[in-house]
Amino acid sequence: MNLSNGVFEISAVKMAQYPKTDGPPLPEIALVGRSNVGKSSLLNYLANRRDLARTSSRPGRTQTINFYRFPHCRVVDLPGYGYAKVSKRTRAKWGPMIETYLREREQLRGVVQIVDLRHPPSQDDVLMAHWLQNHHIPYVVVATKADKIARGRWLQHSKVIAEALGTKPIVFSAQSGAGKEAVLEAMAKLLQDS
């Protein structure tokens, strides 16, 4: 799969703002994960673009549902969950925003759940994985920021993640590019299988 020629299409906070479909709908893949885990960076890396999605070292950068259009699919960058320093009010808005998209979007073909390879998945990560399972939404797990730990520890950390989430993660780094092809293949498979 090839994610070149991507363009930012629209930011949405409610369904009425999602991209409209005229003709056959483009299949979509959504990125979910904790705030600051590296969702937007992953998208930029896969798309070979430094600045397609806005990234920030300040958690809570992506506060809307952002749709990116590619020739054969859309990638949808969802707001991060589970960041304590974002106000309660903001957090209370994100849950329903994410859930409405995942529940209602007919052209959603699958989810890339992104976690940090360095740490065991959070309670929110586990809840998200269960939610996806319960709603029969196909998903793959990507463990990012692999450049931040020694390669010799990747397997051990992957095992902890696999046990918590029930799926073996693809190890990735938006810094070194490790795992890029594997992530693209997994996304292609989500699009094909449906």
Ligand X SMILES: Nc1nc2c(ncn2[C@@H]2O[C@H](COP(=O)(O)OP(=O)(O)OP(=O)(O)O)[C@@H](O)[C@H]2O)c(=O)[nH]1
Query: Helix, strand or coil for residue 39?
Result: helix
Minimum separation from the CB atom of position 147 to ligand X (A) = 5
Site pattern 15..54 for Mg ion (x: CB under 5 A): ------------------------xx--------------
Nearest-5° angle of CA 112, CA 181, CA 169? 45
- The nearest distance, CB 20 to ligand X, in angstroms, is 25
Q: Binding to ligand X by residue 37, rule CB under 6 A?
A: yes
Within 43-102, which residues bind ligand X (CB under 6 A)?
A: 55-57, 59-62, 80
Q: How many residues bind ligand X (CB under 6 A)?
A: 23
Which helix (H) or strand (E) is 115 found in, with range?
Answer: strand 108-116
Name the burial class of residue 156, with classes exposed (0-12), middle (13-18) and buried (19+) by CB atoms within 10 angstroms of its CB: exposed
Q: Which is nearer to ligand X, 33 or 110 (CB)?
A: 33
In sequence order, the 6+-apart residues with CB closer than 8 A to the CB of 134 are none
The partner in contact with residue 158, picked from ligand X, Mg ion, none with C-beta cut-offs of 5 to 8 angstroms by kind, is none
